[in-house]
């Protein structure tokens, strides 16, 4: 399958800039997620790749071919929309065959490809049914089958699970990944759901205000965010200010809003003594500890939210709130009691200080 190269892409709608000089490289057969809040430009990138939005600047290449100005029908991409965009007056088989008929393929080949696409999406026998006779998950499979039937060079998915309920979303995201990997498809998948992105992606691009903030594996983006914006958007985290007091080859000492801390020196951001930084500590990285342990913090307990498999404890160091997750909770602690917790130095993540972010 083809790789996709996006270079310095700009997409504008009137005076508004939806995508601001975005550059991305998607490897052949890779499942690449565009993640960000509504209005950040991720769908505009997808539409530009599909040919539905004309770039104001920049280029898009499929392998060695420049497709920046090609019309959509000449790009041979499969696209699945949030609404599924199925024809209600057509049967399942007719919907799947729609793109093949547009290609004017022989009837026998169309029938064979429809059967193959329905089988691959586990929809054998559904061909004669009407769309309104299907569940949401079945409609999603039909939309996928229609995209796969044209044997696209790449697959583009725009919030494909947004209209499904939570249990179905979980099962369908696994199904979509299975299909993309079994077909060896280069896939760009747009979502605002962080867990969906982390569960499905080979790599993730986090976007904000039309710009790409960070690209990496799900683990890299989650464990080692490079900015406060990424840390705050991808999963839950505790963010607070600190000042670097000293550094050496292995550790960074910090005076923070929650007390003295030590971080490992192998950070993506190298801070200097005297420099202000943001600290990110994930709630699951805080653990009960004995006083005197490395990075032990004396905190006051607030409310506890029971979530079944975990409890979310609200804590406070002076005016600084913190959250801590407890796996398999058995009791609800008393509010206002003292709690001593610690964080491993490897889980203390340093981020560049941004005055605007602190406002």
| CATH number where 79 lies | 3.40.50.300
Same domain (yes/no): 40, 189: yes
Same domain, 199 and 256: no
- Specify the pLDDT at position 346: 96
28 shares a domain with 162:
yes
Q: Does the pLDDT of residue 224 top 70, yes or no?
A: yes
Is residue 304 situated within a structural domain? Answer: yes
Domains held by the chain: number? 2
Burial of 14 from C-beta contacts in 10 A (0-12 / 13-18 / 19+)? exposed
Final residue before a domain boundary, out of 200, 225, 250 = 225
The predicted-structure confidence for 39-69, as pLDDT tens digits, reads as follows: 999 999 999 999 999 999 999 999 999 999 9
Confidence bin at 358 (pLDDT 50/70/90): very low
**Dist. CA 76–CA 51, nearest whole Å:** 10
Spatial contact of 94 and 87, defined as CB atoms under 8 Å apart: yes
Decide if 231 is inside a domain.
Answer: no
Where does the pLDDT of residue 356 fall: very low under 50, low under 70, confident under 90, or very high at 90 and above? low
Write out the residue range of the structural domain in which residue 294 sits.
Answer: 236-358
Q: What are 170-207's pLDDT values in tens digits?
A: 888 888 999 999 999 999 999 999 999 999 999 999 99
Q: What is the dihedral of CA 286, 289, 293, 294, to 10 degrees?
A: -10
Q: What is the pLDDT of residues 95-151, one digit of tens each?
A: 999 989 988 899 999 999 999 999 999 899 999 999 999 998 899 899 999 999 999
85/136 same-domain check: yes
- How far is residue 333's CA from residue 121's CA, in Å, rounded to a whole number? 48
The answer on pLDDT for 357 being more than 80 is no
Element (H, E) at 204: strand 203-208
256 is a domain residue: yes
Question: Higher confidence at residue 303 or residue 168?
Answer: 303
- Whether residue 181 sits in one domain with residue 40: yes
- How high does pLDDT run on average in the chain? 93
Mean pLDDT of the region 314-318: 94
Residue 299 has pLDDT above 90, yes or no: yes
């Amino acid at each position: 399958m083809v790789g996709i190269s996006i270079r310095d892409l700009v997409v504008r709608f009137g005076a508004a800039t939806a995508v601001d000089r975005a550059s991305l490289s998607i490897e052949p057969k890779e499942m690449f997620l565009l993640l960000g809040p509504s209005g950040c430009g991720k769908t505009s990138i997808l539409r530009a790749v599909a040919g539905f939005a004309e770039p104001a600047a920049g280029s898009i290449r499929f392998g060695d071919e420049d497709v920046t100005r090609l019309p959509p029908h000449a790009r041979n991409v499969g696209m699945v929309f949030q609404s599924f965009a199925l024809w209600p007056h057509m049967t399942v088989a007719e919907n799947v065959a729609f793109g093949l008929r547009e290609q004017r393929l022989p009837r026998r080949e169309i029938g064979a490809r429809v059967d193959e696409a329905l089988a691959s999406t586990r929809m054998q026998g559904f061909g004669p049914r009407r769309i309104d006779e299907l569940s949401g998950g079945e409609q999603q499979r039909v939309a996928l089958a229609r995209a796969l039937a044209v044997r696209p060079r790449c697959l583009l998915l725009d919030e494909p699970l947004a209209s499904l309920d939570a249990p179905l979303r979980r099962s369908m995201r696994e199904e979509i990944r299975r299909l993309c990997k079994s077909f060896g498809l280069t896939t760009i998948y747009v979502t605002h759901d962080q867990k969906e992105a982390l569960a499905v992606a080979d790599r993730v691009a986090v976007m904000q205000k039309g710009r790409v903030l960070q690209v990496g594996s799900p683990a890299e983006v989650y464990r080692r965010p490079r900015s406060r914006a990424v840390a705050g958007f991808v999963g839950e985290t505790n963010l607070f200010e600190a000042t670097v007091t000293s550094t050496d080859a292995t550790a960074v000492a910090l005076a923070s809003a929650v007390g003295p801390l030590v971080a490992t020196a192998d950070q993506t951001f190298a801070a200097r003594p005297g420099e202000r930084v943001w600290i990110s500590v994930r709630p699951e990285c805080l653990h009960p500890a004995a006083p005197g342990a490395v990075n032990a913090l004396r905190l006051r307990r607030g409310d506890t939210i029971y979530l079944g498999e975990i409890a979310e404890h609200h804590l406070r160091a002076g005016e600084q709130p913190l959250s801590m997750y407890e796996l398999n909770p058995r009791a609800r602690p008393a509010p206002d009691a003292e709690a001593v917790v610690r964080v491993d130095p490897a889980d203390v993540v340093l981020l560049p200080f941004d005055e605007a972010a602190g406002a």
